[in-house]
Amino acid sequence: ANGDQYNEYFTVTGIESCGFTVEVQIFNRWGAKIFESSNYQNNWNGFAHSSSVGNSDKVPTGTYYYIINLKNSGLKPFAGPIYVGTK
């Protein structure tokens, strides 16, 4: 999300054809939720919700954590780290 036109969005490969609604939550290193979508469309570009970092702006460079849930799939949620470089 640094404006160079490469890797500008957090992309979950295959969600377009998986047949399930994809729920995504992204947290900072302190566990504060900075992004949430109940029907994710590969559209998170490093901007936080308005109250999570003081204003609605790009998150600082760093490691964040995601949880991906395929709603009504019977699968356990997927989770892991994501590095965001915003410079």
Would you say residue 46 lies in a domain? yes
Distance CA 78, CA 42 (A): 16
DSSP state letters, 40-63: --S-B-SBPPTTTSSSSSBPPSEE
31 domain residue, yes or no: yes
Judge whether 38 lies within some domain. yes
With respect to residue 37, please indicate whether it lies within any of the assigned structural domains.
yes
pLDDT for the residue numbered 28: 93
Record the tokens describing residue 10, joined without a space: 């957090």
Which is higher by pLDDT, 57 or 77? 77
How many structural domains does the chain have? 1
Q: What is the pTM of this model?
A: 0.82
Enclosing domain of residue 27: 15-84
| pLDDT, tens only, 38-73 | 999 888 888 887 555 555 588 888 999 999 999 999
Does 9 reside within a domain? no
The pLDDT tens digits for 12-37 are 887 777 788 999 999 999 999 999 99
pLDDT, position 57: 83
For residue 5, being part of any structural domain is answered with no
With contact defined as beta carbons under 8 Å apart, do 46 and 58 qualify? yes
Q: Comparing 48 with 9, which gets the higher pLDDT? A: 48
CA 43-44-47 angle, to 5 degrees, is 135
Asked, for residue 2, whether it belongs to a domain, the answer is: no
